[in-house]
Structure 1
């Protein structure tokens, strides 16, 4: 069969391989290329069946149209141009290149020296030139038909105030779950299987945040150590789902997963890696971007363009400030929203995306482009607000509508419950949404994504079970991963049969989860924390595609899961815990306070108390924000956080409330039971006690200026 470009070639605005119904239009960007060749392959990707130069160049976009070919066509590119590493150019037509816009990828990359544009081992190192053909070892793109029966599927667009995020890994979540069918384990279809969805809905999850599912590679050095890129932060294909998560060969399995999650009322958020690619430094392979136009796609060293500029710790930094690279990123995001129905994104090392002239720019082009985009500005946008470059730590520095991972919440909550000195004021900041970081530029209290743990670091169980990291299995002599985890093994390193230690660990886990769900902001739960998953003290399981990295579901019958379910339900039942605006302590006309801090004697916290490094207990009254709409019904709560021993606490009269009832207590055998409370109560050591107004507060005669009338309305209290 012969192939040729149509004489009726026309310029389509889309980049990539676009099926028109009667043929396929191919288009790719390269500003410095001299010739671009399209290579077509047999269905299995092993044999090249045609090679032809793209006939049209308009600006820096090379294109061509072939009639009669369509979905299933396998292809790649070879690009001719200068090989001048000192000037940033690394064109080598001997290397088959993956289309950056490939919607599906076929084959397995086989690591071989032929994949590199230079001769490995040569005296000139990366200045040398390798003329071996890389095609036999290279993955290829596949032309896709975007048609899929979404059957009325619509975006959920749940408000941030009603959002509870669950961070999970497709393989890790499903590989050992006892009820997921064997053939579906480790796949998108396993991820949306009934046992997983049932678990998430019972837990009260509203959004699942998936670790990278865009096509990524296993690092060569990991495979040589019999390890694997488990987490997936080495992206090569920004438009294609990861093939190892498919049970078959159709990328529609990903769409099926999204559709099933939506049917269960769960939004799908993708962890995306647009800060770097899998090609690594200038000594990495030539797989796509480097061979298409190295000087455009990557930020190069200002001192020597031979070298890539690295703010990510992976060897390269994607040059998002370049208009065509930014277009690729935006096209990719729009593709996942518009075609794949994704509900939001978590941006890995997002500070890199905001760099212009190598410095972070809050009002930079990338953020501006997203904010003005009618499709992207309406989805959930979450930043990991740091990278390893100078000035890269930017917690609180991102513009609306971005939300941000808040590592300060994680660290301060761990330190408070560990009993560290001087943590009371820090805890107060975290449970009220970290206003110092986020209360500016009209940002709301949901700007902070609060977390106790995440894929990177100790799990919640390991936080209370290990003092030291144990990453020996990673093959780096335990030198990788953070050493300061703010963890506490409670007396024994690792698992133990000591019932006292296990009870103390259980209580601390309850305290930390309850703190997370009582805090203003958006809670994120690490998948597996609710069932006591441990990684054996490994706090950097990026290469552990095995029992270390996979979720251990043996805790499905543990009481802690029931506690987590009830804690999430408690948050949902009390809107005062999830308000749009920051609580400031200002008063309204009737002297109604929205927040107040109290000492154990019932008095207000003063400077002396805030500065008392030995204080381990804090009381806080939470009421309706004075900025909230009158129609918003909220019930008052009084919370006591006690990281010390048993103590007496006097419950204050506030906003006309004089009588309280205890509605939850992490130190009790039945944490979610209601008891009448006297004005002076005992708070268990290492516990959280939660109080709500007693229903008979409705007996108030209304004569006191600051009082409110309470009416019992179903399970909750409302006021007129």
Structure 2
């Protein structure tokens, strides 16, 4: 194939394909390549029309400028180099490779043996033998786009203390929403539909955290079982959106959705997967990074570069210590924040991002790069503080500037409300923003992102309806997913028509929700939990792109939806809960401490009561940091019996019951004495009296 387009020297940065109004600059990093060929295709990506050798290489970046090319041009790469898999070198010119900086994709990946750099066989050394088939016809291709900033509205810039996060799946959230038009369901456009916006405002969330939206691959073994990589934690392109999430096919759809959410006062956070890619282990396909520069992009096993250091459990791990890989991650984050207006990022398996040859390092250069970046420092940064490598649980170990998913909060809170003994002290620590984990180096309470449920695990409905997981639909003999869920079905496994059990489950849901919203730290609500959404006991719907994995809007409980909205409003309007400093128990000038713990008799908790394994009830008082705000009193009874109780004596606040979880109308309670129903929460608002003392 001959070259007819004129090639100029071009520049090594920006990487990717950059249109300047007259032509396109192409730049691809490969430190170990001997030759890089730019392959141009027709508008459909079917026919290869040109091959252009990029002759210039600066600091490991191969580059060239092609005058006259326009946005919409479809392209890919072929990269030459040494084929020596035992040494970690997997160059194969026969394989068309996706640009790691691709902004938009054309076509879908079609599984075929030609996608593999080696010839598939039963030979245990099969990966050492090069496959010479051309993979272009089975590969998605990159598309040149305009480099415009697409978002137009100002960001809401919601302060961390007032943040309430709603974790959702772009597709699953709207696929069954009865008021959203069929032709946009499951896409970004559906997220900005007025019906969706109204619901998000009704429940009071301030940020929607979207599960991965980067273009991803559906695993071959899943498609062969008529399943899919529904969750999307299998990234193919860090700069391009998943095409299936665009109803219009235009990138502007994302920005328009973000603009609409911003105008409604809702921030957008993306769940991003920079810890591994879709290329799997040494037996995985060659789609992008593996064929471009395997030794640079991935972590190999020390002393045996044929194999990957599988810190993620997904076959490989990106080498975030390499400066060009770090640059790729930073460029991706800045693009999503600036071009699309994204407000924050949740980093999947963030522990892997901070690993070097000595293990996890909270001072890793990638973290420093994020925390000093003028764009990212204005974003909310949330780490998932674990992976499957050595020392793979590091909750509380990330540097100041990162918040963290608090898995301990989830587990302890579940254990407390299922009635386990001896939980009071550990529950109190988690309820008060886990200061034992986060209160150092001037970190704030929002370092703890609290959650009861998340995409990975039971929904709230299933948490109170199933003792065991039921993942048979995944085709893995129920071996996948967590076994220890700290759940309780209330007396019967799965759905039931027994009214007593149904009432208990309804109360337990409200107990979990009330606890979540009244805790110090940042609450994260799983989308659908306010709707009684069930996954039929499946705690790992990663492969269920169907009604099992989608949220069921038809079972919505208006009472539960309103209860969540009331909790959100309480949180937003009371600085005693949504505070910027950790509670310490120190007295203020009115003689009240910012937090105080009481037994059910209204007396300060003693050490003996804290350590009593049978004690499952207590009262906590939060006093606001300002002198004129309202205090909040939360009474919790996790026992299965009725408990007589008294409000703590206080001559500073006049208490009024605001919410309870008993499903009964709120009584006109004037007296200090009350009866706590089994497994219940009561929330009181305290208005200041004796104003003359202020």
**Same-fold call, TM cutoff 0.5:** yes
Corresponding residue of 1:703? none
Corresponding residue of 2:676? 683
Sort the Cα spacing of 1:4 and 1:322 in 2 relative to 1 into closer, same or farther, 3 A. Answer: farther
Sort the Cα spacing of 1:107 and 1:93 in 2 relative to 1 into closer, same or farther, 3 A. Answer: same
Q: Distance in 2 between matches of 1:291 and 1:434?
A: 45
Say whether the 8 Å CA contact 1:652–1:658 is kept in structure 2: no
Q: Distance in 1 between matches of 2:268 and 2:4?
A: 41
Corresponding residue of 2:463? 463
Tell me the CA shift for residue 5 of structure 1.
5.9
Tell me the CA shift for residue 450 of structure 1.
0.6
Q: Secondary structure at the match of 1:330?
A: helix
Corresponding residue of 1:583? 583
* 1:583-624 CA-partner distances (Å, limit 9, x unpaired): 111123553311111112222111100110000101111113
Decide which of 644, 666, 669 is 2:664's aligned counterpart: 669
Q: Secondary structure at the match of 1:576?
A: coil
Corresponding residue of 1:447? 447
Tell me the CA shift for residue 8 of structure 1.
4.7
Runs of 4+ in 1 over 6 A off after TM superposition: none
Tell me the CA shift for residue 7 of structure 1.
5.8
Q: Distance in 2 between matches of 1:8 and 1:633?
A: 68
Q: Secondary structure at the match of 1:38?
A: strand
Q: Distance in 1 between matches of 2:228 and 2:97?
A: 23
Corresponding residue of 1:489? 489
1:169 aligns with 2:169: yes
1:382 aligns with 2:375: no
Say whether the 8 Å CA contact 2:150–2:340 is kept in structure 1: no
Corresponding residue of 1:421? 421
Q: Distance in 2 between matches of 1:502 and 1:585?
A: 39
Say whether the 8 Å CA contact 1:313–1:388 is kept in structure 2: yes
* 1:650-695 CA-partner distances (Å, limit 9, x unpaired): 22224x337533222211423xx473432222222211112233x6
Say whether the 8 Å CA contact 2:149–2:338 is kept in structure 1: no
Corresponding residue of 2:126? 125
Tell me the CA shift for residue 188 of structure 1.
1.0
1:648 aligns with 2:644: yes
Q: Secondary structure at the match of 2:576?
A: helix
Superposition map of 1:251-266 within 5 A: 251-266=251-266
Q: Secondary structure at the match of 2:465?
A: coil
Say whether the 8 Å CA contact 2:12–2:61 is kept in structure 1: no
Q: Distance in 2 between matches of 1:677 and 1:5?
A: 85
Superposition map of 1:195-214 within 5 A: 195-214=195-214
Corresponding residue of 1:716? none
Q: Distance in 2 between matches of 1:666 and 1:217?
A: 43
Q: Distance in 1 between matches of 2:155 and 2:532?
A: 32
Q: Distance in 2 between matches of 1:541 and 1:385?
A: 22
Corresponding residue of 1:543? 543
Q: Secondary structure at the match of 2:489?
A: coil
Tell me the CA shift for residue 9 of structure 1.
3.0
When normalised by structure 2's length, the TM-score is 0.97
Q: Distance in 1 between matches of 2:293 and 2:2?
A: 29
Corresponding residue of 2:139? 138
When normalised by structure 1's length, the TM-score is 0.94
Corresponding residue of 2:185? 185
Corresponding residue of 1:600? 600
Q: Distance in 2 between matches of 1:546 and 1:465?
A: 21
Corresponding residue of 1:71? 71
Q: Distance in 2 between matches of 1:588 and 1:252?
A: 52
Sort the Cα spacing of 1:667 and 1:490 in 2 relative to 1 into closer, same or farther, 3 A. Answer: same
Q: Distance in 2 between matches of 1:37 and 1:269?
A: 37
Sort the Cα spacing of 1:66 and 1:265 in 2 relative to 1 into closer, same or farther, 3 A. Answer: same
Say whether the 8 Å CA contact 2:34–2:81 is kept in structure 1: yes
> Gaps spanning 5+ residues in structure 1: where?
701-707, 711-719
* 1:450-504 CA-partner distances (Å, limit 9, x unpaired): 1010000000000000000000000100000000000001111111111111111
Q: Distance in 1 between matches of 2:211 and 2:566?
A: 26
Q: Distance in 1 between matches of 2:372 and 2:39?
A: 37
* 1:526-567 CA-partner distances (Å, limit 9, x unpaired): 000000000000000000000110000123344211211112
1:336 aligns with 2:336: yes
Q: Distance in 1 between matches of 2:663 and 2:225?
A: 48
Superposition map of 1:509-658 within 5 A: 509-625=509-625, 633-644=628-639, 645-654=641-650, 656-657=651-652
Sort the Cα spacing of 1:142 and 1:357 in 2 relative to 1 into closer, same or farther, 3 A. Answer: same
Q: Distance in 1 between matches of 2:46 and 2:552?
A: 39
Q: Secondary structure at the match of 2:408?
A: helix
Superposition map of 1:197-236 within 5 A: 197-236=197-236
Q: Distance in 2 between matches of 1:418 and 1:95?
A: 54
Sort the Cα spacing of 1:659 and 1:180 in 2 relative to 1 into closer, same or farther, 3 A. Answer: closer
Say whether the 8 Å CA contact 2:111–2:220 is kept in structure 1: yes
* 1:45-73 CA-partner distances (Å, limit 9, x unpaired): 01000001112111100000001111000
Tell me the CA shift for residue 303 of structure 1.
2.9
> Gaps spanning 5+ residues in structure 2: where?
none
Corresponding residue of 1:270? 270
Tell me the CA shift for residue 572 of structure 1.
1.5
Corresponding residue of 1:360? 360
